[in-house]
Amino acid sequence: MPLQDRAPSELIQHVFRWIHPTKVQQYRRVCRSVCLALRGSGFARLNLDTFMALGHVREPSTEGQDEHSEEDSGGDEASEWDDSEEVEQPPTSPKNGLHEHHRLVSLLHSHERMEATSLTPSHWDRALFHWPASFQRVYVIESLAPLSLRKVLWSKNLITGVLPPSISLLSTLSFLDLSHNHLSGPLPRSFGEFFSLEKLYLSSNQLTGELPSLANLIHLQVCDLSYNKFIGSLPDFPTSLEMLTLNNNKFTGSIPASLYSLHKLLFFKADNNKLSGAISGDIANLSRLLLLDLGNNKLRGQIPEEMGHGLRSLVKLYLHNNHFMGAIPDSFGDLMALEDVWLNGNSFSSSIPQRFFSLPHVTALRLDGNTRLAGGVPADVGRMQCLRYLNLSGCSALRGDLPVEIGACICLREVNVNGSGLVKRIPKGLEREGPVWKRLIRLGFQQE
């Protein structure tokens, strides 16, 4: 029998305690006795205490730029982090800025410095994402927890590894930002019990797997999980949410009924996924919603009239590149705050509601690719005096000329009717040499 197999566990631990915590776990492969001696929380505390003097509260790091259960631990083997190139965030499309809603922006980017804020991860903090669960738990409880951290803002720090389940033990933490790193693996189930969280940013990583329910996080206001590789159905979220961004993942299934009960929701992005099914009329419950983006999914059916009746605060509406059909709801004429409307790439039929062209603040209107839209452009388009971008290309069932009233749209910069049934001709009676006349000439419209 080899000597290491006869050595008592205490002796093995005493020998290996002097090996650096970022290296020691590789020795678990030596034999079963060593593996057992090095895997428990007792050795984790002994090893970390040797190198870190655990129990002595360190000062939280405030240097750097002010940027924005064991089975879940992602494996027992330790590995070193690598300082690879930072992954550039893909551009979002369409634009999602809400310039007049400063509260939203401040909610997303309020990374003000506070007494208990960590802005830059230390050498040990980085190792946390690679250690086995026993080391993670000891480090969180005995090194991080005594700091009473309120904010951990480690965005854009080239952090690799997996999310440690034990991070949810930081009972004072309200703001966690690990976005724009290289984290992989699942979101641990323990995050469903991270009761102190108010803002969670994990966007632009390589996180995978299905999401656990977050319904019990009763203080959570902001949840950004965009630009990852999450799969499966959307889970339940807490009714406290004001911002929920799930775009650019691989979510499937229908929009759950529980989501329509998020009465405080202001901002919902779930574009560029594989969501299917219809939108329920219960969406009218989201009466505070300012932005709704469900573009580039597999949603189908008719848009419920209730959407127009209930979402009176809506500023940005993106439903493009789905499989919606039927008539565009006449109730959309009640959405008086709308600025951007993208309904392109669907299968809407019937004529465009006349009231739809009476919305005074719309700057961008996209209906292109709806080959079954019939009728023409009504004279009420002249009431859209903020309109800058109008795209009706590919609407092959539309007929006639643009109405002369379009001359009142003095902000107009682009009109696209290519491939539609509309005549690409300057409307008869339009003020010659006026701003709209000049713009249409530049866009290739023919004179009468």
Pairwise CA distance, residues 75 & 130, whole Å: 9
**Would you state the pLDDT for residue 252?**
98
* β-sheet bridge partners, residue 349: 372
- What is residue 52's predicted lDDT score, i.e. its pLDDT? 75
Burial 233-271 (b: 16+ CB within 10 A, else e): ebbbbbebbbbbbbbbbebeeebeeebbebeebbbbbbb
pLDDT, position 16: 62
The two tokens of residue 45 are: 């505390």
pLDDT for position 45 = 81
* pLDDT score for 278: 97
For 39, the 3-state DSSP assignment is helix
Q: CB under 8 Å to 145, separation ≥6 — which residues?
A: 169, 170, 171
pLDDT score recorded for residue 58: 54
Q: Which residues, other chains included, contact 200 with Cβ-Cβ below 8 Å and sequence gap of 6+?
A: 176, 194, 220, 222, 223, 224, 225
Separation CA 420–CA 398 (nearest Å)? 6
DSSP H or E run through 170 = none
Distance, first Cα to last Cα, the chain: 100
DSSP 320-363: -SSEEEEPPPGGGGG-TT--EEE--SSEEEEEPPGGGGG-TT--
Q: What is the DSSP string of 89-106?
A: PPPPSS----TT-HHHHH
pLDDT for 81: 33
Q: SS3 helix, strand, coil % of the chain, rounded to 5?
A: 25, 20, 55
* Residue 129 to residue 148: CA distance in whole angstroms: 20
Helices H / strands E in the chain, number of each: 9, 23
> Which mean pLDDT values do the consecutive 10-residue runs of the chain (448 residues) have?
55 65 66 64 75 59 43 36 35 42 42 68 93 90 92 96 96 96 97 95 98 96 98 97 98 97 98 98 97 98 96 97 96 95 95 89 96 92 94 94 92 94 90 88 87
Q: What global pTM score does this model have? A: 0.84
As a whole number of angstroms, the distance between CA 45 and CA 69 comes to 18
Distance CA 78, CA 131 (A): 5
> Which residue bears the tokens 């590894």?
161
DSSP 438: H
